[in-house]
Amino acid sequence: MKRRQVVAGIGAAALAGAACTRNEGGGEGAAPAQKTFKWKMVTTWPPDFPGLGTGATEVARIIERCSGGRISIKVYGGGELVPAFETFDAVSSGTAEMGHSGAYYWKGKLEASSFFATVPFGMNAQEMNGWLYHGGGWELWKEAYAPFNIMPFPAGNTGVQMGGWFNREIHGVADLKGLKMRIPGLGGEVFRRAGGTPVALAGSEVFTSLQTGVVDAAEWVGPYNDLAFSLHKAAKYYYYPGWHEPGATLECLVNKQAFEALPADLQAIVQTACSSVNDRMLAEFTARSAQALDELVNVHKVKVRAFPDDVLAELRRLTAVVMSETAADDPLFRRVHDSYMEFLARVRGWTRISEQAYLQAR
């Protein structure tokens, strides 16, 4: 069901510095009006949540500015128009023309979707963009979403997410046994195989659950968002680097009929706005997380630790087990998995002597 609204273009076209009049009969001196489009964007984020929600709003604003107002987009936080996790269905049905979210949220209906966001021990942001734009990843993503009537666009990245907050130090695999941790998705499944108990909690519940001891550990995003939630105040916690979400791509979802109803220039604007936010959101996370980490460590005296090598090795081994079990049951998951892993195998050699070697040399 498509709810795109087409209205006469005078107001919007005036914003573009060009007022056109409707040409009903092709009379001399008249021309067809430029159509305008009023869209809704639903999101999985709290309204204007730092980085994620503000990134979604930025996509909308860029489209409005570039189109001179020919497209206007009202952005809804999770729960404002539809519940956060009905974002995908709302765009699929046309209740909203557009959505902003992370593909791994749709793992329940489409197991392969995790690869279009991030997977444990997978690619970082720079590698993900390489795979999506130049390694066949985006084509697979479009194919995976096509049966749902949705066109996906990369539209943001958090960079490497932190491994989370723990109420004890992790000295070995045995320390994970029985640990209750807020950790969703594939990472949560790997954590379960390692002996822990993954707990499903919305972001808004993380602080209280940590503080009251409902969970022993929790991951959210990274310093920028974790500081916004004051997770360092929830308890005296240890902060660990990440392994399970090494470069989470965010997505814009566009209803197929809504997109196809746009003229070519507005289609190009939608696509370019998403790519622009894909560029700018990672920059925002990088700058703001640097500030926030500085504050967490130097003002709030948070203790940063590292997982021992044997813990990482076990999590890596279990990730491969989970992947291969899922691939055996799901042909689309297998195809996307194989494309992703083939690209990763090649790009990691380049990352090793470029980004990684440089960071060590610096």
In the range 305-324, which residues lie near its own copies by CB under 8 A? 306-307, 312, 316
Cβ count within 10 A of residue 13:
20
In 10 A of CB 160, how many CB atoms? 20
Closer to its own copies at the Cβ: 325 or 355?
A: 355
Residue 2: CB minimum distance to its own copies, A: 19
Residue from 7, 202, 290, 328 in contact with its own copies (CB under 8 A): 290
| Cβ proximity to its own copies, 86 vs 226, nearer residue | 226
Distance of CA 279 to the CA centre of its chain: 13
CA distance 18 to 9: 10
Residue type, 247: G
Tell me how far, at minimum, the Cβ of 292 lies from its own copies, in Å: 8
Q: What is the largest CA-CA distance in the chain?
A: 82
| Residue ranges in 86-145 that form contacts with its own copies under rule CB under 8 A | 121, 124-127, 129-135
Non-local CB neighbours of 218 within 8 Å, separated by 6+ positions:
164, 165, 181, 182, 183, 201, 206, 209, 210, 231
Q: Smaller CB distance to its own copies: residue 78 or 137?
A: 137
Interface size with its own copies, residues (CB under 8 A):
88
- Residue 148 Cβ, how far from its own copies at the closest point, in Å? 25
Of the candidates 280, 332, 339, 341, which one interacts with its own copies according to CB under 8 A? 280
Per DSSP (E only), the strands in the chain are 5-7, 36-43, 71-76, 98-102, 150-157, 164-166, 180-182, 197-199, 217-218, 238-240, 249-255, 303-304
Structure tokens at 272: 């370019």
What mask of x and - would describe binding to its own copies in positions 158 to 177, judged by CB under 8 A?
-xx-x---------------
Using rule CB under 8 A, residue 362 touches its own copies: yes
Query: Which listed residue (108, 301, 329, 358) binds its own copies by CB under 8 A?
Result: 358
By C-beta, is 33 or 73 nearer to its own copies? 33
Contact by Cβ (8 Å): 211, 235: yes
Binding mask 200-239 for its own copies (x = CB under 8 A): ----------------------xx----------------
| Residue in 293, 323, 327, 336 binding its own copies, rule: CB under 8 A | 293
